[in-house]
Amino acid sequence: MGTSLLEYTNPPYLSDISEEPKQLLEPISGYAHESLLPLEEACEPLLNIVPSLPAHIWIAKQNSKNPPNDLTQDESAAIPLAKIPAAPRQTVWRGLHLDLSKDCPPGEKITWWAFSSCTTSLRVLESDLYLGNVGTRTLFSIET
């Protein structure tokens, strides 16, 4: 019998905000022992998100030919790539059929561990398929 994905993952990282831990989780560890991929290969999954990424990689590598601090050229070139905005800044919305006002007071910054679906349109959330307009609800305004 096959093994499910959840047997290999930390459920708090896949849950929703309503199941968020009340304290900070330990950092993810163990990745530092993995071998490094060439920068171009490591960035391949991002090409659909950042179409101009190949040009950014080329420029970063050209500017990192003699890196300081015993970094490889790829390690040095990765630093400016991490600063490329992936998308324009905007507000996204997330709604739940719960009252989370005690756990998430307005204006308080929270750590959101979960991967959650969001929308850029409040009109989508007003649909009865999602949040609707009736009953107890919590609406999150998330500045990206």
What pLDDT band is residue 136 in, cutting at 50, 70 and 90? very high
Q: How far is CA 118 from CA 18, 115, 132, in A?
A: 14, 10, 15
pLDDT tens column, 66-99? 998 899 999 999 999 988 876 778 899 999 899 9
What is the arithmetic mean of pLDDT over 90-117?
A: 85
Q: Is the pLDDT of residue 53 over 60?
A: yes
Say how far apart CA 61 and CA 72 lie, in whole Å.
10
Pick the residue with more confidence: 6 or 127? 127
pLDDT tens column, 8-37? 444 444 445 666 667 788 888 888 888 999
Structure tokens at 67: 């890196």
What pLDDT band is residue 4 in, cutting at 50, 70 and 90? very low
Dihedrals φ, ψ of 142, to 5°?
A: -115, 120
What residue ranges do the domains of the chain occupy?
35-81, 88-143
Output the CA torsion sign for 30, 35, 38, 40: negative
In sequence order, the 6+-apart residues with CB closer than 8 A to the CB of 61 are: 39, 73, 74, 77
Q: Is the pLDDT of residue 1 over 70?
A: no
Pick the residue with more confidence: 115 or 102? 102
